[in-house]
Amino acid sequence: MGNVAMRNEGWPKRVRRGSESARVSETARDGRRCRALWRAVRFYAEGFRGMGPLGRTLWTVVLVKLFVMFAVLKLFFFPDFLAGKDDAQRAMHVLEELTERRN
């Protein structure tokens, strides 16, 4: 019997949800997530650092195209219809746009 008690000492204990040990384990879990995120960031940073000139040029082209698509085109093709209106006017405009039938 004494051996059974000694074998169980090293096993993980069940922790009640609101206890101090549960909070510590949640904090440790958040720390592992943060470490994993930083490992991923370092992985990609090292990959970009070690990339050749052709790869860097292609990634620069991709990033410039994304900037043009999302920043510049939004300014010219997607006007803000709700600017300068109070809450009631905004609500009425949204209601009309959602319920108006377009054929």
Report the half-sphere exposure of 93 (CA within 13 A, side-chain side): 11
With 70 as the cut, is the pLDDT of residue 17 above it? no
Write down the pLDDT at residue 20.
55
Q: Give yes or no for a contact between 103 and 91, defined as CB atoms under 8 angstroms apart.
A: no
Per residue in 86-95, pLDDT tens?
999 999 998 9
Say what the pTM is.
0.43
Higher pLDDT, 31 or 53: 53
Q: How far apart are CA 103 and CA 100, in angstroms?
A: 10
Write down the pLDDT at residue 9.
55
Polymer length in residues for the chain = 103
Radius of gyration over every alpha carbon of the chain, rounded to an integer in angstroms = 28
Write down the pLDDT at residue 4.
52
Per residue in 33-86, pLDDT tens?
788 899 999 998 898 889 999 999 999 999 999 999 888 888 888 888 888 899
Q: What are phi and psi of 91, to 5 degrees?
A: -60, -40
